[in-house]
Structure 1
Amino acid sequence: MASLLFLPHTARTPTPRAATPRPRAAGTVTCGPRDNRGPLQRGRSLSTEAIHAVQSLKRLTAADRSPSSARGAASASLGRLLRADLLAAMAELQRQGHWSLALAALHVARAEPWYRPDPELYATFVSSSPSSDPAAGPAVDALVEAFLDEKETRGVGGRVAAPSEGPWEGEDVYKLTRLARALVAKGRARAAWRVYEAAVRRGGLEVDEYMYRVMARGMKRLGLEAEAAEVEADFAEWEARVSPPARHVLDEMRARGEGSETATAAASSL
């Protein structure tokens, strides 16, 4: 029997210890947002100039956000921005809930040569207006009046309309419907009716069935029964003018279908 003295000696491998986390020092700053703004959404980016302009506007109006003060500060902060930066700054102010400052930015945009009275732009302002602020409703009504005045003077595309064409000729019906729908959603029935009356009834803009339905249902829901009846009458007139050609096409398709079924039945009986 071999002695135990001659057995090979094996060295013990040390067991690795789990790394103990270092204690965090008091006052350590972790990664996180530096203010209350949410992350930028996909498809929207602010340039450095636009970010600085928004921050400057908020600093200048921190103590006084009256309309006159906000307009002066917006002119000083945003007046040198390019079109894309000014529109992005305007949208960012609405997203952060600074609706009055966004209105001041819109006042700056109105003085630019590229500006045009776009109903989609005004629809975003109506949709972002604070419902809890009692002053927001009259401000929305004034915003609509300014939009209609601009349409009368500038026409479509920011140019002065020729005497032979109306200011609503060539307007995007989808954008106008979006503005009317936003006004109805905010309960501004009179403002929505002003837009419909100016564009459709007096302006002669050819709209689609969806616009009529939005206005008829909205006027009924908001208590304007007489205006709702007028919209329904306009819709009936439009339907009588537009539907017969479509109905004629459907009748032809139905006749062709019935003829093919009769031919198939006759061939199968042989």
Structure 2
Amino acid sequence: MASSLRSNHSCFSLSYSFPTTKSHRSCVAIIRCGPRDNRGPLHRGRVLSIEAIQAVQALKRAERMDQTQIDEQVSKTLSRLIKQDLVASLKELIRQDRCHLALKVYEIMRSEHWYKTDCSLYADLVSTLARKGMTEEIDRLISVDLERDGLGVSEERGLSRLVKALIAAERTESLMTVYGLMKRGGWGSASAADECVVKVLSRGLRRLGEQRVAEEVEMEFGSSPRQIR
């Protein structure tokens, strides 16, 4: 009931009059009362639950107050969250550019039994780390975490986003790691779904001065230079 009250704008009218040189005129003004804040959800696709909001706030307080206890607080705060709230908390920390907390939350998430590689989340992490100039953390994220997780059954859009994020961050070695994972993961098929990723990867390698590797990508995945360019 409370939600319905918030969602419905109420309205009422005020009657007032003001004099003119000829006569008095009456006017009616309509005033609509609604939510003070019309902003959308804190992150795209899902409104944060109370539990997720409280978790994000608790982690930020812990980070400000006692760095030595941050790992304990992260584990304690996140242990009671369900999957959806844990993912939502991570995305909100990424949105706020709270890089250190986001990495710690992602580490917890990767330890869950339901976790599967999500290249879109890796892309989001790479982008926010790049904005903060945390290039070493990017390379560690890819060469250690992603190398260990593997690409899994990554959908094209997520993998393409990750490759683009690494190109934008100019992380050549990390991009080469992703290429190696693609080869080991059987991305050598000639399917149309793979071609988009191959194009992005090849162009990015050329942009970063890796012409030879770009040509190797084209040969490995069965795409001609004309198709790639």
TM-score by length of 1: 0.61
Letter in 1 for 2:176: W
Q: Which amino acid letter does the alignment assign opposite residue 204 of structure 1?
A: G
**In 2, Cα distance between equivalents of 1:102 and 1:40:** 15
Partners in 1 of 2:110 and 2:104 — Cα distance?
Answer: 10
Question: Given the alignment of the two structures, is residue 105 of structure 1 paired with residue 87 of structure 2, yes or no?
Answer: no
Which of the residues 211, 219, 224 maps onto 1:233? 219
Displacement after TM superposition at 1:204 (Å): 1.8
* Secondary structure at 1:62 match in 2: helix
Structure with greater strand share of residues? 2
- The CA deviation at 1:175 is 1.9
Q: What are the superposed Cα offsets for residues 207-256 of structure 1, whole Å, 9 maximum, x if unpaired?
A: 62222221121111112232122123335x3459xxxxxxxxxxxxxxxx
Cα distance change of structure 1 residues 38 and 141 upon mapping to structure 2, 3 Å threshold:
farther
Q: Distance in 2 between matches of 1:137 and 1:41?
A: 25
1:189 aligns with 2:145: no
Task: Confirm or deny that 1:56 pairs with 2:52.
Answer: no
Question: What secondary structure does 1:112 align onto?
Answer: coil
* Alpha carbons 2:59, 2:74 under 8 Å: kept: yes
The structural deviation recorded for 1:97 is 1.6
Tell me what 1:73 maps to: 73
Q: Residue 144 of structure 1 is aligned with which of 136, 142, 145?
A: 142
CA distance in 2 between counterparts of 1:149 and 1:42 reads: 28
Could you tell me how far apart the structure 1 residues matched to 2:169 and 2:78 are? 29
**What is the aligned-residue identity percentage?**
37
Q: Which runs of 4+ in 1 moved over 4 A?
A: none
**Which of 194, 198, 218 in structure 2 is aligned with 1:208?**
194
Q: Whose Rg is larger?
A: 1
Write the letter of the residue equivalent to 1:176: L
Counterpart residue number, 2:162 = 179
Q: Aligned partners of 1:43, 1:215: CA distance in 2, in Å?
A: 28
Unmatched 5+ stretches in structure 1 = 1-14, 18-30, 157-169, 241-270
CA distance in 1 between partners of 2:178 and 2:71 (Å): 26
Q: Deviations over 1:66-102 (max 9, x none)?
A: xx75433211111210000011011111111211101
**What corresponds to 2:118 in structure 1?**
118
TM-score by length of 2: 0.71
Cα shift readout 1:174-225 (whole Å, capped 9, x = no counterpart): 32222112111111111111111221x2332236222222112111111223
